[in-house]
Amino acid sequence: MGLFSRFTEGLTKSRESFREDINLLLNRGPKVDEEFWEGLEETLILSDMGGYSAVSIVDKLRNESVRKGYRDAYDVLDALNETIANEFVEGGDEILGSDAIVLFVGVNGSGKTTTCGKIAKQAKDAGRTVILGSGDTFRAAAIEQLEVWAKRADVEIVSRERGSDPASVCYETIERGEQIGADLVLIDTAGRLHTSSDLMRELEKVVSVVRKRANLPVKLVLVIDATTGQNGLQQAREFNLALDLDGVIITKLDGTAKGGIAVAVAHYLNLPIVKLGVGEGLEDLKDFDAHEYAAGLVGDFGRE
Ligand SMILES: Nc1nc2c(ncn2[C@@H]2O[C@H](COP(=O)(O)OP(=O)(O)OP(=O)(O)O)[C@@H](O)[C@H]2O)c(=O)[nH]1
Ligand SMILES: [Mg+2]
pLDDT digits (tens, 9 = 90+) for 131-154: 999 999 998 899 999 999 999 999
Q: Which of 123, 122, 180, 189 is nearest to 156 (CA)?
A: 180
Nearest protein CA to atom 17 of ligand 1, as residue: 111
278 lines ligand 1 (CB under 6 A): yes
pLDDT band at 60 (very low <50, low <70, confident <90, very high): very high
Residue 5 pLDDT greater than 80, yes or no: no
Q: How many residues does the chain have?
A: 304
What does the longest C-alpha to C-alpha distance in the chain come to? 66
Percent of the chain with pLDDT over 90: 81
Q: Is 279 in the pocket of ligand 1 (CB under 6 A)?
A: yes
- Distance (angstroms) between ligand 2 centre and the Cα of 188 equals 7
Question: Within 13 Å and on the Cβ side, how many CA atoms surround 216?
Answer: 24
Residue from 280, 282, 286 whose mutation best tests the ligand 1 pocket (most atoms within 8 A of CB): 280
Which ligand is closest to the CA of 134, given by its number? 2
Q: What is the pTM of this model?
A: 0.93
**Ligand 1 centroid to residue 139 C-alpha, Å:** 15
Q: pLDDT (tens digit, 9 = 90+) per residue, 216-225?
A: 999 999 999 9
Determine the 3-state secondary structure of 190 from DSSP: coil
What letter does residue 172 receive in the DSSP assignment?
Answer: H
pLDDT of 1 reads: 46
- So what's the pLDDT on residue 7? 62
pLDDT for 158 beyond 70:
yes
Top pLDDT among 10 and 179 is at 179
Taking the centre of ligand 2 as the mean of its atom positions, its distance from the CA of residue 287, in whole angstroms, is 21
Q: Mention every residue, 6+ apart, whose C-beta is less than 8 A from residue 123.
A: 96, 130, 184, 186
The one-letter amino acid code at 185 reads V
Task: Pick the closest to residue 9 from 276, 230, 272, 223 (CA basis).
Answer: 276
